[in-house]
Structure 1
Amino acid sequence: MIKTLDNLKQGENGIISAFKGKGEVRKHLMEMGLVRGSDIKVERVAPLGDPIEVKIKGYSLSLRKEDAKKIEIEIS
């Protein structure tokens, strides 16, 4: 099943499968360490849904909900 990162709940995890953004958006996400095939886990979601804190490659990263909508996650 494929979902966007903003639709995952706290504690859910999956594998990054694709990005909806092109060009600068995609480059920005990749510079933050978000690459296809990486395991990602939602650690915490702020009360209003923004930001979303994830764990990837052993470190924590906070993402704006707008950016999280552009990341497709494969859920097993």
Structure 2
Amino acid sequence: MTPVAPLSPAAASDPGTLCLVDLPVHRVTTIAGLASQGGEAFAGVLQRLGELGFMVGETISVLQRGPGGREPLAVQVGDTVFALRRHEASCIQVKVPA
């Protein structure tokens, strides 16, 4: 797998990608990259997500959303399940599922 580098603003707004927060539950897709609207404040979040295995090309799906459809989001990356806050999930860009 390729290490995740922050996406450029143009790539983050690519019509072929969407934010993980917007991915419907149980829809399987792949990670396109990590992007943040928060600038330097989110640099640590992006680094940590990469360290946890959120890598370009990895299979990902949202398994469940918290109460009221909010947070946490239970997501599966490969064979591992994570609980993410909305601001963390908003940093993950995925390919639009077919």
C-alpha RMSD over aligned residues:
1.4
- In 2 relative to 1, CA 66–23 (structure 1 residues): closer, same or farther, beyond 3 Å? closer
Higher helix share: 2
**Matched-pair contact (CA < 8 Å) for 1:9–1:45:** no
Counterpart-to-counterpart distance in 2, 1:42 and 1:24:
22
Residue 12 (str. 1) matches residue 27 (str. 2):
yes
Which runs of 4 or more aligned residues in structure 1 lie more than 6 Å from their structure 2 counterparts after TM superposition? none
Correspondence list, 1:22-61, <5 A: 23-48=43-68, 49-61=70-82
Q: Aligned pairs, how many?
A: 76
Higher strand share: 1
TM-score, normalized by length of structure 2?
0.70
TM-score, normalized by length of structure 1?
0.87
Counterpart-to-counterpart distance in 1, 2:29 and 2:44:
24
Code of the residue aligned with 2:83 in structure 1: it is S
Unaligned runs of 5+ in 2: 1-15, 37-41
Match of 1:66 among 79, 87, 91: 87
Larger Rg: 2
**Matched-pair contact (CA < 8 Å) for 1:44–1:53:** yes
* Higher RCO structure, 1 or 2 (CA under 8 Å, sep 6+): 1
